[in-house]
Structure 1
Amino acid sequence: MKSILMRVVAGMFCIVVAGTVWAADAAVDDKAMQEVNDVVKQLQARYEKTKDLQADFTQQTRIEGFERPVTSSGKVYIKKPGRLRWDYLDPATEQIYVNQDDVKVYVPEHKQVLVGKLTRMAASQAPLELLQGAAKLEESFTIAPATGKERGVGGLRLLSLTPKGQEGDQARPVQRIIVEVFPKTYFIRTVWLHEVNGNVATFEFSSLKPNTGLGNDVFEFKAPPDVEVVKAPVLN
């Protein structure tokens, strides 16, 4: 079920709540850290005002040992508190519905819907805390300026989030998360997920439409009569 976690984690970033204290390595340059804090402040202010959001996305996954990345695209719908719908449209159709801790994954080609509890299907709890908006991020992540490609569009600093307690814990799939925001609007533009196994998933968002009044019906899955319901396996 690790693939489900990787697919929904990007959408989870779009429900970040206020009141977060951001921590960083003391060795980080003060000026760079101030830039990061400024981006974080603007990002939080934007998402405090965002009750719902819909966007297009493209996903490119580079799998360790394979030369060519896997590319897909679709649409994502988000509504506070804790509702998410993630639609893959190309190259294959797949729908993921999240309501708080309940998750349903519908694959029309297989005529199956996988149902379960997200907290029991995911190896890492930190991204789930972003979705629920209940925990302070500094309890789960160390926040710092990204290294290497340090700036995104508009010259804004990229944010680097490293899950705490990562050392020696191979059960955590996400090693590092890099976040890029749009200038001026401060909505999230790109998320890079670096897994401990070397895989990197890149999600790029476009055509963002905030606060359009998305109804709950958008997030409710109605199974066709010929669909088999399958319980998701539980990770220990």
Structure 2
Amino acid sequence: MNRLSPVRAALVTLVITAFGAVQAPAQTTSASPVPQAAAPAATPPALTAGQAVAKLQASLKALTTLRAKFEQLHYSLTVTEPIRETGELFLSKPDRMRWEYKDPQDKVFLYKAGVVEMYLPEEKQLTRSPVPPETLKTDIFGLFLGVMPVEEAYTVEDSPFPTDAARVRQIKLTPREEGDFSYLLLEIDEAAWLPRRVLFYEWSGNKREFVFSQVRTGVRILERTFSLKVPPDTEIIDDTEGAIR
């Protein structure tokens, strides 16, 4: 059974095909050759990559609540088709998140105050584990909670990659120190300056992709969203206390 958590992330090498333009030969006459007009220079982005990331971080920092649909894709070099999961994300600042998976399997990841709980209804099992601060700063949880020190921990550069979206900014983040992944790609919605896609590339060649849609901010989220009530016969593995019940 697949238990891939949104805490860890993975990516394969992105291959971008380059296209070369073929220029027709210039015609000559008895008169002096007429110089061809130079191609117009590409218009540079209004913001640098660093400024775009700063706007992303400012938007995330300003959030109080967020609710969104998500699609999570797991790519592996050993399989042809990616594993696809879908669900809904709930965020309440400063430190609560709920990832509720609905397809193909029901499961819940609940993060609250430095602890993540993973509930698998089909297996009647709840696992509770602490999340080290250094881990939180390098995963999808830390990005949305606004605790990922982007420019401090990563080199930031523009890096276009295939997309079907308009008005987005695409950024590559490369860790300054070696970690669990080689780099990650961000696709930022320029209307709200919030993440639309996040791709993590592992050294192994695998990758993990998150795609967000129907993003709403400042919405009311019920308090019970960030608590888990499980049946009495659920096995609870509590790594925060080293106890199994």
TM range (shorter): 0.7 to 0.9
Q: Check if 1:77 corresponds to 2:104.
A: no
CA RMSD across the alignment: 2.9
CA distance in 1 between partners of 2:104 and 2:130 (Å)? 27
Deviations 1:115-144 (A, max 9, x none): 110129x96853365466456333322221
Distance of aligned partners of 1:138 and 1:64 in 2 relative to their CA distance in 1, 3 Å threshold = same
What's the CA shift for 1:164? 1.8
Q: TM-score, normalised by structure 2?
A: 0.72
Which ranges in structure 1 are unaligned for 5 or more consecutive residues?
Answer: 11-30, 167-171
Map residues 173-184 of structure 1 onto 2, 5 A cutoff: 173-184=180-191
Q: Check if 1:163 corresponds to 2:175.
A: yes
Distance of aligned partners of 1:220 and 1:189 in 2 relative to their CA distance in 1, 3 Å threshold = same
1:55 — aligned with what?
Answer: 68
CA distance in 1 between partners of 2:7 and 2:90 (Å)? 11
SS in structure 2 of the partner of residue 115 of structure 1: strand
Distance of aligned partners of 1:48 and 1:116 in 2 relative to their CA distance in 1, 3 Å threshold = closer
CA distance in 2 between partners of 1:56 and 1:91 (Å)? 15
| Identity over aligned pairs, percent | 25
CA distance in 1 between partners of 2:239 and 2:108 (Å)? 15
Distance of aligned partners of 1:60 and 1:36 in 2 relative to their CA distance in 1, 3 Å threshold = same
> Which residue, out of 230, 236, 245, partners 1:229?
236
SS in structure 1 of the partner of residue 71 of structure 2: strand
1:68 — aligned with what?
Answer: 81
Distance of aligned partners of 1:100 and 1:130 in 2 relative to their CA distance in 1, 3 Å threshold = farther
Q: State the one-letter code of the partner of 2:123.
A: H
Q: TM-score, normalised by structure 1?
A: 0.75
Distance of aligned partners of 1:130 and 1:188 in 2 relative to their CA distance in 1, 3 Å threshold = closer
> Which residue, out of 198, 206, 210, partners 1:203?
210
1:188 — aligned with what?
Answer: 195
Which structure carries more helix by proportion?
A: 1
What's the CA shift for 1:8? 3.6
2:151 — aligned with what?
Answer: 138
Q: Check if 1:100 corresponds to 2:107.
A: no
2:19 — aligned with what?
Answer: none
Larger radius of gyration: 2
**Contact 1:112/1:228 (8 A) holds in 2:** yes
CA distance in 2 between partners of 1:123 and 1:135 (Å)? 10
- Pairs aligned (count): 204
Distance of aligned partners of 1:132 and 1:202 in 2 relative to their CA distance in 1, 3 Å threshold = closer
Deviations 1:149-204 (A, max 9, x none): 287733543111112211xxxxx322211111123122211111111111111111
CA distance in 1 between partners of 2:221 and 2:204 (Å)? 37
CA distance in 2 between partners of 1:124 and 1:104 (Å)? 14
**Contact 1:153/1:183 (8 A) holds in 2:** no
